[in-house]
């Protein structure tokens, strides 16, 4: 068992310590519930900056924050390190690898995971970037490939080691490509003076007709201009169909020989078992009503990336980003109090605060509800928003110092292969993409 004490308060079990789960847990403070928070990691990851860990701009500890520290001093809140296996909706209990726990209310806030669209070859051979371990794997592989490139005189092999293919041109793909391009320009010539870095290629392959296809046409166009100015090759309307570990193939027949392929082309809900297929919607997301209640239940809720709330305004559900998760978590805390007290629930209305992406030094695009802008000011706004969104004063300070150092010195300090990455063979492959 999980050794949670009995209580006369209603028990809320929250599965997941991401943006939504933590927002809910913090808001439930002093609301007369017993709260049990379960997560497979003992830290919260600030996912928007994972690409900076992958490219040596930040150490992983600066974008992670201990969950226990977030909830320190909260009355009747318990954190347990656990892999949740399923929800037994009949007996009202959550089943995990560390035991079972009964609930009065359960909230699924498990976020999303990489979607390879059923392509096992790509899943096995490419790199995903949804977790800190995955980002550290990418960082190690990138640096190991440059070390290997120094040791070969064969031109084709050297080019393959220095060819980086990023599949997907959403914010993650665009930001990663920009960071690699800046490494090529500012850092790698100093680290590898005996390598011909003109052979290094950064290819971004996008299935849609524009980069950042969820943003405005103006921001998309600007972002592509910024990427191309940095020397990134952008391939639009190209769908990757195969990657065997050496060669990337697209639907149109294009091929790219590359040792490093990073997949940022899609995500899907990280659903917990226990629901029939009628509840699971497109994108592997759980169907919820306007109060975030899972369809068919009044005591089970889902928030954030794993939930899809389909309304006239949002027929596809809300975007899989931090803000909807945070806002749903905060409202749900109030609604749980209302539900307990027999008061009417308040429907969720998303307050879209805008979207943004950075493409490198002094280059970013920002879409706000009222206006859109790009360039240096957008880059400054992007940095400020991300800095303020980090949890913990220390993390804010460390990230600010790293960014200041990188900006002034044209350098990235975290170029360390602390845990060498060994690509798994297909036989021994155990989903390295979901570490």
- Would you name the residues annotated as active-site residues? 175
102 strand-pairing partners: 93
| Residue 217: CB atoms within 10 Å | 11
Calpha distance 93→76 (Å, rounded): 19
Calpha distance 4→251 (Å, rounded): 53
**423 and 138 in contact (C-beta within 8 Å)?**
no
Tokens of 101: 């726990």
- Residue found under tokens 């809320």: 12
| Residue 341: CB atoms within 10 Å | 8
Per DSSP bridges, beta strands 300-302 and 105-108 are parallel
DSSP notation for 337-404 = HHHHHTPPPPPP------EEEEEETTEEEEE-SS-EEESHHHHHHHHHHHHHHSSSHHHHHHHHHHHH
First-residue to last-residue Cα distance in the chain: 25
């Amino acid at each position: 068992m999980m050794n949670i004490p009995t209580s006369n308060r209603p028990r809320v079990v929250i599965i997941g310590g991401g943006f939504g789960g933590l927002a809910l847990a913090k808001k439930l403070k002093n609301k007369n519930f017993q709260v049990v928070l379960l997560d497979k990691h003992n830290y919260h990851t600030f996912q928007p900056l994972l690409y900076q860990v992958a490219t040596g701009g930040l150490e992983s500890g600066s974008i992670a924050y201990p969950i226990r520290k977030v909830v320190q001093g909260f009355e009747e809140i318990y954190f347990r390190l656990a892999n949740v296996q399923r929800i037994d909706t009949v007996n009202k209990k959550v089943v995990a690898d560390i035991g079972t726990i009964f609930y009065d209310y359960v909230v699924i806030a498990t976020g999303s995971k990489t979607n390879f669209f059923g392509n096992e070859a790509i899943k096995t051979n490419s790199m995903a970037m949804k977790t800190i371990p995955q980002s550290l794997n990418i960082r190690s592989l990138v640096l190991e490939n440059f070390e290997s490139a120094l040791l070969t005189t064969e031109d084709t092999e050297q080019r393959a080691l220095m060819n980086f293919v990023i599949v997907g041109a959403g914010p993650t793909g665009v930001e990663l490509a920009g960071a690699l391009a800046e490494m090529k320009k500012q850092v790698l010539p100093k680290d590898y003076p005996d390598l011909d870095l003109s052979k290094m290629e950064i290819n971004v392959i996008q299935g849609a007709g524009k980069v950042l296809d969820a943003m405005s046409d103006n921001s998309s166009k600007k972002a592509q201009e910024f990427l191309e100015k940095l020397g990134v090759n952008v391939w639009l309307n190209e769908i990757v169909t195969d990657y065997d570990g050496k060669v990337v193939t697209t639907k149109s027949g294009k091929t790219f020989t590359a040792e490093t392929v990073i997949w940022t082309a899609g995500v899907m809900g990280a659903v917990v078992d226990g629901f029939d297929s009628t509840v699971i919607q497109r994108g592997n997301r759980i169907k919820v009503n306007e109060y975030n209640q899972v369809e068919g239940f009044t005591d089970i809720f889902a928030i954030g990336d794993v939930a899809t709330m389909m309304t006239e305004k949002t027929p596809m559900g809300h975007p899989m980003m931090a803000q909807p998760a945070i806002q749903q978590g905060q409202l749900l805390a109030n609604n749980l109090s209302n539900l307990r007290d027999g008061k009417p629930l308040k429907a969720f209305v998303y307050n879209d605060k805008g979207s943004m992406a950075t493409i490198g030094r002094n280059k970013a695009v920002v879409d706000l509800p009222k206006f859109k802008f790009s360039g240096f000011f957008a880059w400054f706004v992007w940095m400020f928003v991300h800095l303020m969104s980090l949890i913990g004063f220390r993390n804010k300070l460390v990230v600010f110092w790293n960014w200041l150092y990188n900006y002034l010195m044209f350098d990235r300090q975290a170029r360390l292969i602390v845990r060498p990455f060994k690509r798994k063979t297909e036989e021994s492959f155990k989903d390295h993409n979901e570490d």
